[in-house]
Structure 1
Amino acid sequence: MSFISEFKAFAMRGNVIDLAVGVIIGGAFGKIVDSLVKDVMMPVIGRLIGGIDFSHFYLNLSSQTYDSLEAAEKAGAPLIKYGIFLNNAINFIIIAFAIFLLVKLVNRLHAAEKKEEPAAPPPEPEDVKLLREIRDALKERG
């Protein structure tokens, strides 16, 4: 088997295709959740705690002071941007919770599918059928 045909067989297996689709959908889902955190949730949380924007929180490790995060970044100061980290941590928690809910829903739907299909009883073996016929015939005679 040639290298190209081996790769084609690998790439066309169901698991690889499913993984590729999952990665693409996950990337799009990540962008949606990122926007939800940055544009919807963080302004509300910031407003509730006094109009604070977390993304501008940083710790300046240099001896100079700067008026803003942007000014410190332009100057090339060493920074710890813990506000951005906080945004990303909240983003992760929301994504993990959304995936948890999605998996729970899929499991529930899968369980409902299995419950709807009653298991068919196994076919009766021929020797059991024959013994029942004999029993019934004996009951009729005696």
Structure 2
Amino acid sequence: MSTKEKTTGFVAEFKQFIARGSVMDMAVGVIIGGAFKAIADSLVNDIINPILGIFTSGSSDLANLAIHLPGGGDMMVGNFINAILNFLIMAFVVFCIIKGLNRFHRKKDETPAPPPAPPEPSVEEKLLMEIRDLLKEQTHE
């Protein structure tokens, strides 16, 4: 197999991959996720941090919470807590979206199947029904 065939096959395969709808859906998801990250950052920095900052360090901003290390450095605990809160908010939103999509797909896929036909009576059941019918005829006469 020549190099040109490998390249053409690779390029063709890449074009086919890009043309799939799922890749486009993923691209839209990444863009929306990036936009939502700004909302989550604002929620954490502008609303949650000031509230938590009041209880933790007496200041109004949790992001400034730091542990002073011997030797002159600071461990920025507040920034780490911000990252955790951002992650939890994003994870919760993604969970809710996936849960909603799964419910939507489940309802879409759940078309009621027609009820199965009743099973054909066995030979013994047919004979018993005939005997029953004959007995009914005899009692009515």
CA gap 1:27/1:81 in 2 versus in 1, 3 angstroms: same
Matched, 1:20 2:27: yes
Equivalent residue letter for 1:24: I
1:4-34: per-residue Cα shift (whole Å, max 9, x none)? 4443222112232222222222111212111
TM-score, normalised with respect to structure 1 = 0.61
Aligned mate of 2:67, from 52, 59, 64: 59
Paired with 1:59 and 1:48, the residues of 2 have a C-alpha distance of 16
CA gap 1:15/1:113 in 2 versus in 1, 3 angstroms: closer
Question: Identity across aligned pairs (percent)?
Answer: 43
Paired with 1:20 and 1:120, the residues of 2 have a C-alpha distance of 40
Aligned mate of 2:36, from 29, 41, 58: 29
- Please list every run of 5 or more consecutive structure 1 residues that lacks an aligned counterpart in the other structure: 65-77, 129-142
1:14-60: per-residue Cα shift (whole Å, max 9, x none)? 23222222222211121211111111221122235544421112234
- Please list every run of 5 or more consecutive structure 2 residues that lacks an aligned counterpart in the other structure: 121-141
Q: Give the drift of 1:90.
A: 1.2
**Which one has a bigger Cα radius of gyration?**
2
Which residue number corresponds to residue 72 of structure 1?
Answer: none
Paired with 2:13 and 2:95, the residues of 1 have a C-alpha distance of 36
1:85-139: per-residue Cα shift (whole Å, max 9, x none)? 0111111111112222222222223323334x323569x9xxx9xxxxxxxxxxx
Matched, 1:82 2:77: yes
Aligned mate of 1:106, from 101, 107, 114: 101
Paired with 2:91 and 2:40, the residues of 1 have a C-alpha distance of 10
Matched, 1:41 2:48: yes
Paired with 1:84 and 1:107, the residues of 2 have a C-alpha distance of 34
The aligned length equals 112
Q: CA RMSD in A?
A: 3.0
Which residue number corresponds to residue 93 of structure 1?
Answer: 88
